[in-house]
A = this chain, B = another copy of it.
Amino acid sequence: MSLRHAILGVLSVEPMTGYDLLDYFDISAGLFWPAGQAQIYPELRRMERDGLLAATVAPRGKRGKKRIYALTPGGADELRRWANEPPPHGPDRDPVRFKVTYFDQTEPAHARAYFAAHIEHYRARRAAWAERADAIRARSATFLRARLATRDPDEHERIVAFKALALDGAIARADAEIAWAERALEEIDRLYGVSISPSSPR
């Protein structure tokens, strides 16, 4: 039930509407915990019902309305409680690797395209994580600045350090994925002979 904690994490900076929350899921929380609106709106209602959030209905223009959600003390407690739990290591399914297990049943061209796509995928994710890590370390990420503003300056270094550390883990994982896929491409060359295509590196 980590969607709940992702929401608590965002709202611990400042109260906002579900719609605003969606933006934060795109840029920051979504790097580790993507979620769409079909998940967020009902969850906000449940969290309100469970006493983790309090909503105030604010007018929007003349007739419009919006619900601004804020953490309750119970919500802040729950966020802290969750952060103090051990690592949530579920059973890890690995569909990408699992499929490779059956690559003897494919053409080498498919195997090459597969690993190339894997590399592209993790290059893109790596870039997103690295960009965010830089913004965190430079303390230029606006959402981080808002968070730091609510905290004692003594704590700032640690707040920044842990967020950067998490992103570093994701980056290291991406690097491992890319390195593996590159070794895989070599292995395919070894198994089938070197590919004819100019292996266009980019």
Residues on A facing B (Cβ under 8 Å): 2, 5-6, 9, 29, 32-34, 79-80, 82-107, 110, 113-114, 117-118, 121, 125, 155, 157-159, 161-163, 165-170, 172-173, 175-177, 179-180, 183-184, 187, 191
Report yes or no: B175 in contact with A86, Cβ–Cβ below 8 A: no
Which of A95, A101, A106, A184 has the most CB atoms of chain B within a 10 A radius of its CB?
A101
6 extra interchain contacts, Cβ-Cβ under 8 A, other than A79-B102, A82-B99, A165-B183? A79-B105, A86-B113, A92-B125, A103-B158, A104-B155, A168-B180
Bound form: Cα–Cα A191–B156 in Å: 11
Q: Which residues of the other chain, B, contact A162 by a CB distance below 8 angstroms? A: 100-104
Given contacts A93-B32, A103-B162, contact A180 B169 (CB under 8 A): yes
